[in-house]
Chain A
């Protein structure tokens, strides 16, 4: 690493903040282990995606404006979510297409805003974080991470370098798990049916854990697993990478 410590402002995402703070702690732990200075501004809330995804752009803009202001001076922003990162990097410019000044801010923030695994591999150039985990694990690509950000290899590199791990790919791994934000409650039956297909693919690998990088997918899959009493556990990538058995 360069002599000066890279500084990261965390964007912890509302789902992580409220439902899975442990994931946030794991992110902090790993980044610190790699010599990064980590800050968290408690004025942050949500990126605005729920409103944007549901078509309420005015409401989404109101929330997004705050994010643009809050992280204006950050060197890097890191979020443990592909979905929130795509919101900022891909969809903010669309949301502020008619506002030249903010559009400029969106572009500037987008260039400094990274999804967690992407930040490790592309910015810190770290593919082995020194984790160890002796279990069979599979990985679910969240669609925003995969298709909006094109992050496919980064999480896999990190997972493969975990000591003791037995990593297996899912059949048809590019297939959506059915979460889809508000889709999950607008079309709950379809969402559940898609999730069941995904879990069937997980079961076929006989993996103990399914790892993903997005709180939404994980919440959906874990909720299905718990309802159906399946012998599968979910895990955020940060939780896996924080493991040192």
Chain B
């Protein structure tokens, strides 16, 4: 049974574990580099890409300012088209709604399209507890479901698995012959999934966009499994985070041009499905279509004028691929469902800062994420904001061996920095003290945390014999 809690407080340990795994490091390095490069090539072909980003940002801002209006418009239009709109405030409510729909439909098996919201609310476990089998049909999700893991990436959930890993999993769980050829592995998965599609009484999907004007949900994919999940079974349930709304049908053109290019470097993904209500007379498709509008922490994020921006995210994954920290620590180190820079932002928002107070610190604040974000979220700035929230609402864990708590050291630091004479005296004291440690201008080992963390992997420079301020008297005379 897989663990279901939020493990974001273990980001240090989990990150270091990933760092020490050469196999994993290579998987992350090569995959993120591939996606990063594809994105760069794809956007270089679009003149005015920057204007497109600005337009998308403006649209998302507009949505967040008037989300209540657009949500009601969307829900009304879903019902007008013959669908049913449900509202869920919490993960439990989402699971209960989906379970009830499945039970009423008599579905014992459910096929699932890739949906991060269902990962977030742990739908599979909830369905399983009700005796309903949920099968992931996205190849990456299928792989991690077999492995009993969470997605390691927003777009490519099995990004951390090499061909050999997948082969091992398939041999163990599907009892097939060993092969490491991607085509044959895909064929094996497809065979296993066809059977499940045939038996499923219900399909569950997410939504990339929800168009308020028409009540349409939009899904993008490359495998065709989403189209299958949303059209073959008798019942289709779409889980839609409330931030997925876009106002008008024509706005979709802006977002579709950004999403594929930013995520995988594709002009468009292989399939783009626009679903408006269940089937009508003489058409194919599900008899019932349900849309579950999910809050689960989003309303609280919306209420914070600063953090609201995090809801602009269209889950393209570009910030993960470009992030030097994500590339090293990998997706699982973030300890929950969403990873990378955007995960470090929304995990504390959705699970509470107390659950994930270390995540905003898991960044060098280099800002590479902001450069690639298709909706121009100022990620480093929001991370800084969350850092201050973390310090206000929670207490930094004291590193083992640290003489002072972080808060006390910072207060002491500020006290010194406000007093030039105390600052100069501290410098003088440090020069005296470093005689014990420094050899030829370098210190190999500093005695106490957090300074000792520096010297665990690097040498620390000794203070110069005289500070600039001490030398200034001389310099100023020259």
Contact = CB atoms under 8 A, between A and B. Distances in A.
A169 interface: no
Interface string B407-419: 1001101101110
Nearest to A40: B472
A193 B29 CA distance: 12
B358 to A, nearest CB: 8
B66 interface: no
Interface stretch (A71-79, A155-163, A219-227): A219-227
Contact of B391 (A45, A56, A174): A56
Nearest to A56: B410
B329 interface: yes
Nearest to A42: B469
B417 A226 contact: no
A165 to B, nearest CB: 25
A181 interface: yes
Given A28-B475, A183-B364, A192 B457 contact: yes
B420 interface: yes
A61 to B, nearest CB: 9
Contacts of A66: 417-418
Residue from A14, A17, A24, A66 having most chain B Cβ neighbours under 10 A: A17
Nearest to B333: A190
A233 to B, nearest CB: 13
B99 to A, nearest CB: 40
B410 A194 contact: no
B459 A223 contact: yes
A46 B111 CA distance: 58
Interface in A149-192: 174-176, 178-192
A54 interface: yes
B417 A48 contact: yes
Interface string A48-91: 10111111110110110010000000000000000000000001
A223 B454 contact: yes
A184 B455 CA distance: 10
A129 interface: no
Contact of B458 (A19, A181, A195): A195
B364 A227 contact: no
Contacts, number: 191
A191 to B, nearest CB: 7
A186 B387 CA distance: 13
Contact of A50 (B413, B427, B444, B467): B413
B370 interface: yes
The A interface, classified by DSSP as helix, strand, loop or mixed, is helix
Interface string B1-22: 0000000000010011001000
A54 B453 CA distance: 16
A12 B468 contact: yes
A19 B461 contact: yes
B411 A59 contact: yes
A44 interface: yes
Contacts of B468: 12, 16-17, 21, 24-25, 40
Given A25-B475, A51-B414, A189 B467 contact: no
Contact of A175 (B324, B370, B418): B324
A226 B366 contact: no
B471 A188 contact: no
Contact of A17 (B363, B390, B391, B469): B469
Contact of A19 (B371, B418, B459, B464): B464
Interface of B: 12, 15-16, 19, 324-325, 328-329, 360-368, 370-371, 381, 384, 386-392, 406-407, 410-411, 413-414, 416-418, 420, 423, 427, 430, 442, 444, 450-451, 453-454, 456-461, 463-464, 466-472, 475-476
27 contacts: A12-B468, A17-B467, A18-B427, A19-B464, A21-B468, A40-B475, A45-B416, A53-B384, A54-B387, A54-B410, A62-B414, A143-B364, A143-B367, A147-B368, A147-B370, A178-B364, A189-B19, A190-B328, A190-B329, A191-B364, A191-B457, A192-B458, A219-B461, A226-B459, A227-B444, A227-B457, A227-B458
- Complex A-B, nearest 6 residue pairs according to Cβ-Cβ distance, in ascending order: A180-B364, A55-B387, A223-B458, A176-B366, A192-B457, A59-B414
